[in-house]
Amino acid sequence: FQAFVYFASVFQAMSCGIHYLASVFMAVTPNFVCGIPGNVSSVLFYNSSESSLEDIWTLWTSTENYIIVQLENGEIWELNQCSRSKREMSLDLAYEYKGNKSVFSCSDGFLYDDTKWKSTVVTQWDLVCDREWLAKLIQPTFMLGVLIGAVIFGDIADRLGRRRVIWFTSASQFVFGIAVAFTFDYYSFVIVRFLLAMVSSGYLVVAFVYVTEFVGIKARTWASMHVHAFFAVGVMIVALVGFLVRTWWVYQICLSIATLPFVLCCWMLPETPFWLLSEERYEDAQKVINIMARWNKVSTPCKVSELCSVQQDDLVGGRMGDNDTSSTKKHNILDLFCNWHIARRTITVWLIWFTGSLGYYVFSLSSVSLGGNEYLNLFLIGAVELPCYIIACIGMDKLGRRNTLIPFLILSALICVLIMFIPQDFNTFIILANMAGKFSIGVAFGLIYLYTAELYPTIVRSLAVGSGSMMCRVGSVVAPFCVYLRSVWIFMPLLLVGIMALLSGILTIMLPETLGKPLTNTLVEATEMGRSKKSCSGKTSPAHSGVALEKIEMFGQETVSTEK
């Protein structure tokens, strides 16, 4: 049962990786020059003469150079990217010209190099020259949607349930993904992509919580970490589809179709027993457990009423003494700061999320200098993530979450320092060091999802992961600006990442270890996991909830062997 739920859920994570990276090829800016007011008879670029402009693109290597064209009416024009000049009193087609010119704007549009891409959103709506800033806003607005969606849907999942959010976000990914391909102008394109980013981020956040609450302690590490692996597969799919399809709207439709299989079967997914128990819906939780028992062929399913009998008595007593305030309390982001221990934990976790994202994208942007085929490069960027998640899983299972996170954060900081001392002409060593840095920060970036879900109780777990993901997106927005600091000092981005990674590694020492421990259900239990006696609410006794949920969790992993 858990295998079906898990693979169905993480299959959709591929579409999140797809939509996050789709703009890499969809919004590419090819070579271009000003359009011309007539038919071309000949084209000249330095000493090379061709009959059409398409034959000259392979020779045009610098945007600072211009192209000479002669029209059928005899006019000779110099074409630049954002302007064009008409030669006066010129009869000979020569590249160099000392005479008078009349400069004109690109009122006839632009001519684009379509040897690689037949159409992109840049060529569709002429997002070049004075409209270039609109093209540069495509990815930032998408990441803004990711940031907002992570918080909104994380909170909604805690209030309305994981299943409803998964239904809505997965169906919306397909609808908005297809709608992007049929947008009629730039502004509708950006708005629909913003909505697509919100639901994609919302699904990814809630999917982590969903699979974590269904998978038991023994398999939780590998199951949660390999959600990232499916995300990386989505990145590789972008590279493959981009190589095969060179028209942006067809490319977008092909990528969105990957969402369809899950949309057709997501309605079969049940709500998690953890959330149902946190909402005191014991009968519904029992139904889900009975379904799990039938799928897993367990003849003697456990009874929620027996496991939680003492807990229910405490809850009833608490409601009678507190006028039902505990059951009606709505949780928000302030609950992540309910006391000093939880607040310190939240600040540290947010810093790790931010550092992981910042370092991941800084190292990724550095890898662009590897050169070669851009499709292969993107494919390898996705593929290189797979082994780091395997290492992270092994480390988390053998050493623990905290004991794996600390050395890899510190290692990434040391690698940043190491790169500063490598001579600039040692390109191979610099590339290897950057890949090692990305690998180490990738391990930390990958396991923080699971670690965050285990550090917080059921009632605010989605909110915790969602707010952490928000800090992650802040890091991804800051990363490009961090790279721009290379103009100040070439090693400034690495210095900032190294400082943040070292600080995060030191603060992680104060976090509790969660390896082998059951998921907590209340803020009281989460505080006690940090060895604190203070309570966040003091209204709900956690004495038995953790034990009961642990038994349910263990039951979920039982097989036929339990009948012995």
DSSP state of 422: S
Please, are residues 209 and 461 in contact by the beta-carbon 8 Å criterion? yes
Check whether residue 391 and residue 436 sit in a common domain. yes
Res 325: pLDDT: 42
Contacts of 539 (CB under 8 A, 6+ apart): 318, 322, 325, 326
Domain edge (last residue) among 528, 543, 558 = 528
DSSP secondary structure of 209-267 = HHHHHHS-HHHHHHHHHHHHHHHHHHHHHHHHHHHH--BHHHHHHHHHHTTHHHHHHGG
Check whether residue 432 and residue 459 sit in a common domain. yes
Domain edge (last residue) among 290, 307, 324 = 307
Sign of CA dihedral 440, 446, 448, 451: negative
Q: Which helix (H) or strand (E) holds 86?
A: strand 84-87
Q: Is residue 212 part of a domain?
A: yes
Check whether residue 398 and residue 420 sit in a common domain. yes
Check whether residue 344 and residue 470 sit in a common domain. yes
Res 296: pLDDT: 79
Model-wide pTM > 0.85 = no
Res 467: pLDDT: 80
Check whether residue 101 and residue 208 sit in a common domain. no
Domain edge (last residue) among 115, 141, 173 = 115
Check whether residue 438 and residue 512 sit in a common domain. yes
Q: Is residue 299 part of a domain?
A: yes
Q: Is residue 556 part of a domain?
A: no
Check whether residue 246 and residue 301 sit in a common domain. no
- The CATH number of residue 135's host domain is 1.20.1250.20
| Distance (Å, whole) CA 486 – CA 470 | 26
Q: Is residue 286 part of a domain?
A: yes
Res 13: pLDDT: 85
Res 496: pLDDT: 92
Q: Is residue 54 part of a domain?
A: yes
Q: In which residue ranges of the chain is pLDDT below 70? A: 47-55, 58-64, 90-92, 95, 221, 301, 304-331, 365-372, 484, 487, 530-564
| Distance (Å, whole) CA 76 – CA 250 | 37
Q: Is residue 51 part of a domain?
A: yes
Check whether residue 439 and residue 491 sit in a common domain. yes
Q: Is residue 399 part of a domain?
A: yes
Check whether residue 446 and residue 469 sit in a common domain. yes
Check whether residue 253 and residue 381 sit in a common domain. no
Check whether residue 469 and residue 357 sit in a common domain. yes
Res 409: pLDDT: 93
Check whether residue 192 and residue 250 sit in a common domain. yes
By residue range, what is the domain housing residue 285?
Answer: 274-307
Contacts of 113 (CB under 8 A, 6+ apart): 30, 31, 32, 57, 60
Q: Is residue 498 part of a domain?
A: yes
As for how many domains the chain has, the answer is: 4
Please, are residues 211 and 343 in contact by the beta-carbon 8 Å criterion? no
